[in-house]
Chains A and B, each alone.
Chain A
Amino acid sequence: MIGPVESPRGFGLQDHLCWVHGDPWDYRPRLTEFFGEGLERGLQVAYLGAGDVEELREHLDRFVDVGPLLTREAVRIISFDEIYRAGEPVVPAEVMKKYAAATQEALADGYRGLRIGADVTDLVRAPEQQDAYARFEFLLERYSARHPLSALCEYRLELGDAVTQFACLHAAVPAGLTPFQVFACDDGAVGLLGEFDAAGQAAFKRALERIQPAPDDSSLIFDMSAVRFMDHRSLLALDSYAQECQVPVLVRSMPPIVRRVARVLGLEHLGGVRTGGT
């Protein structure tokens, strides 16, 4: 699912959803639904959090109502310690490898895929952790667009404005949380969605910094078919990104209103390629 969403229901095998909450009580019914649906779909689900596995299992029992299913092997409990290094910025590629391995294990064990859910607030509390974690979020976004990994990433509102920088790197976000999103298309392109103007300018620039072409990609394609508006500043930011990127950057499906701005600014080269012959 791509774009603003109203509920955590109806997600498939390959989805990346962000949500925010004030206290754990808000989080509980959502995780119940997300995990419940995952189990119904034949997925292995994994609940992640800080602390040891027994505590986490107790926590899950107490707060999340997935009933008798909890006893099944289909519910894994994973401590953050297994994946992340406590208190340190994550190494995005390494963490991604661990989730990819866990996804493959689930498939090997006969599940249709893996579904994970975690409140990751504690992993991004320090400013120096945020950049690395956001880069990881984009890798996860990319992986989940093409592999049977679905994830619910919960952030607590106490993080303030910092929440937006993570939210905008998810294919699905609660409506109203961010004016734009950067998501992964299933063909490897980077999709842009929503409205890009001065209000989201700083967040968009930060998001761009976190996008890396995949190691084996000879070019990076941005897909603008879901862009409703993009102002000149965002377009210039995209152009700067393109100039500094180590592989050629192409833009496809640039909407007329964006093409108009690009033409006046002399940035036609951005949208002049692979747009279906226009």
Chain B
Amino acid sequence: MRTGAARGQEGHFHEAGFYSSDGEFRDLIVPFAEEGIAAGEPVIIGYDNRKNALVRSWLTDPSAVTFLADKSLYATPSRAIATYRRLLEFHAASGAGQIRITGELPHPGNGGSFEGWDRYEAAVNTVWDEFRVWGLCLYDTVTAPAAVLAVAARTHPSIVSPSGIHRANDRFQDAAVFEGLSFAPDPLEQTRPMIELVDRSAAEARQALAQIGRGRIADAILEDLAIGVTVTVSNALAHGRGPVTVRFWAAPDRIVITVHDQGRGPADPLAGLVPTPSGSAQPGLGLWLIHQLDIDVALKHADDGFTVRLRGGTTIG
């Protein structure tokens, strides 16, 4: 039995709210949490320390909700999806009638990067559909860049205002038609690559990586990049349209690799964000795997083909 605005909804009820002051933030989050507590539903709240403290002070019984303060939760979109899935599985198994989750994604306004989170906001409309979950994403209109707010406005089927009115969002785009933000190229990509391989094997790509990477970045990151370049080159050779071009750049503390083919890339808008059925060796599994590593993975569909960019070491932008 679901309560509140999500009553009668199936799966993930994904809602956005926009605030421009602590007062508006309170007006959005307090009813969401208090209604859940009253109904005996698990309530999970994940903001920065300052906002978590504010919410604690506002609630009549803060011990009834779970606060997530672990920044690693939002380390990468696919890891956040996987972490939340485990939480949802736990609460669903405990017999929760509905699970309420609210949090704030990283973006330049709160000291993070929004890269990849546009796809996350589109993906979560479907990836938790087997759970009765109400996800409330709150955006600070003062600090969040306009592009981030525009993504929020296209990825949430419902919007709640600080005055408490829930309305269907007529600007909502389904994941299948949603077009994400374009990635800013890494500054190194503007320079001449140190190594370029055309139609070569994954083994040769690993060899090239070892050649330029040793000593620049931690071994563990170099290994993650080796796993990443293996998956992307193998996928491009098996599923893409040649020629497959792999380029390597290296700065003193980081490595950038792009793997490009002339095909259209994976058709699934969720590619990489969710695992394929367990134990299967479908192409999507490798893409998901490399999204779980400590490297930055970006997918780019363009007129000239499909590119996967891998970055390891000191993060840029």
Chain B, 225-250, contact with A by CB distance < 8 Å: what is the 0/1 string? 01100110010011000000000000
When distances are taken between beta carbons in the complex, the residues of chain B under 8 Å from A199 are 201-203, 234
Contact of B230 among A179, A197, A264 (CB under 8 A): A197
When chains A and B are docked, how far (Å) is the Cα of A179 from the Cα of B226? 16
Contact of B227 among A179, A198, A231, A239 (CB under 8 A): A231
Q: Do the beta carbons of A197 and B227 come within 8 Å of each other?
A: no
The verdict on A80 contacting chain B, using a C-beta distance below 8 Å, is no
Contact of B292 among A179, A239, A264 (CB under 8 A): A264
The verdict on A260 contacting chain B, using a C-beta distance below 8 Å, is yes
Chain B, 183-216, contact with A by CB distance < 8 Å: what is the 0/1 string? 0000000000000000001110010000000000
Chain A, 248-278, contact with B by CB distance < 8 Å: what is the 0/1 string? 0000000011001100111000000000000
Q: Do the beta carbons of B203 and A197 come within 8 Å of each other?
A: yes
Report the minimal beta-carbon distance from B175 to chain A, rounded to whole angstroms. Answer: 24
When distances are taken between beta carbons in the complex, the residues of chain B under 8 Å from A260 are 220, 223-224, 227, 293
Known A-B contacts A197-B202, A198-B202, A232-B231; A264 and B226 likewise in contact (beta carbons under 8 Å):
no
When distances are taken between beta carbons in the complex, the residues of chain B under 8 Å from A237 are 281
When chains A and B are docked, how far (Å) is the Cα of A231 from the Cα of B237? 15
Q: Do the beta carbons of A257 and B285 come within 8 Å of each other?
A: no
Q: Do the beta carbons of B226 and A229 come within 8 Å of each other?
A: yes
When distances are taken between beta carbons in the complex, the residues of chain A under 8 Å from B286 are 231-233
Label chain A's interface by main secondary structure: helix
Q: How many residues of chain B get a CB closer than 8 Å to chain A's CBs? A: 23
The verdict on A65 contacting chain B, using a C-beta distance below 8 Å, is no
Report the nearest A residue to B294, measured CB to CB: A260
When distances are taken between beta carbons in the complex, the residues of chain A under 8 Å from B227 are 231-232, 257, 260-261
Report the nearest A residue to B223, measured CB to CB: A257
Report the minimal beta-carbon distance from A182 to chain B, rounded to whole angstroms. Answer: 18
Q: Do the beta carbons of B206 and A198 come within 8 Å of each other?
A: no
Q: Do the beta carbons of B289 and A264 come within 8 Å of each other?
A: yes
Which residue, of A237, A239, A265, has the highest number of chain B Cβ atoms within 10 A?
A265
Q: Do the beta carbons of A264 and B281 come within 8 Å of each other?
A: no
The verdict on A195 contacting chain B, using a C-beta distance below 8 Å, is yes
Q: Do the beta carbons of A261 and B289 come within 8 Å of each other?
A: yes
The verdict on B8 contacting chain A, using a C-beta distance below 8 Å, is no
Report the minimal beta-carbon distance from B201 to chain A, rounded to whole angstroms. Answer: 6
The verdict on B279 contacting chain A, using a C-beta distance below 8 Å, is yes
The verdict on A70 contacting chain B, using a C-beta distance below 8 Å, is no
The verdict on A101 contacting chain B, using a C-beta distance below 8 Å, is no
Q: Do the beta carbons of B223 and A265 come within 8 Å of each other?
A: no
When distances are taken between beta carbons in the complex, the residues of chain A under 8 Å from B219 are 256
The verdict on A157 contacting chain B, using a C-beta distance below 8 Å, is no
When distances are taken between beta carbons in the complex, the residues of chain A under 8 Å from B94 are none
Q: Do the beta carbons of A231 and B234 come within 8 Å of each other?
A: yes
When distances are taken between beta carbons in the complex, the residues of chain B under 8 Å from A231 are 202, 227, 230-231, 234, 286
The verdict on B57 contacting chain A, using a C-beta distance below 8 Å, is no
Report the nearest A residue to B82, measured CB to CB: A264
The verdict on A69 contacting chain B, using a C-beta distance below 8 Å, is no
Report the minimal beta-carbon distance from B80 to chain A, rounded to whole angstroms. Answer: 15
The verdict on B278 contacting chain A, using a C-beta distance below 8 Å, is yes
Q: Do the beta carbons of A256 and B278 come within 8 Å of each other?
A: no
6 closest Cβ contacts across the A-B interface? A198-B234, A257-B223, A264-B292, A233-B281, A197-B202, A236-B281
- Given A199-B202, A231-B202, A257-B223: 16 more A-B contacts, CB < 8 Å: A195-B203, A195-B206, A197-B230, A197-B234, A229-B203, A231-B227, A231-B230, A231-B286, A232-B227, A237-B281, A256-B219, A256-B223, A260-B224, A260-B227, A261-B289, A264-B289
Q: Can you identify 22 A-B contacts, CB atoms within 8 angstroms?
A: A179-B203, A195-B203, A195-B206, A197-B230, A197-B234, A198-B237, A199-B201, A199-B203, A199-B234, A229-B206, A229-B230, A231-B202, A231-B234, A231-B286, A232-B227, A232-B231, A233-B281, A239-B279, A256-B220, A260-B224, A261-B289, A264-B292
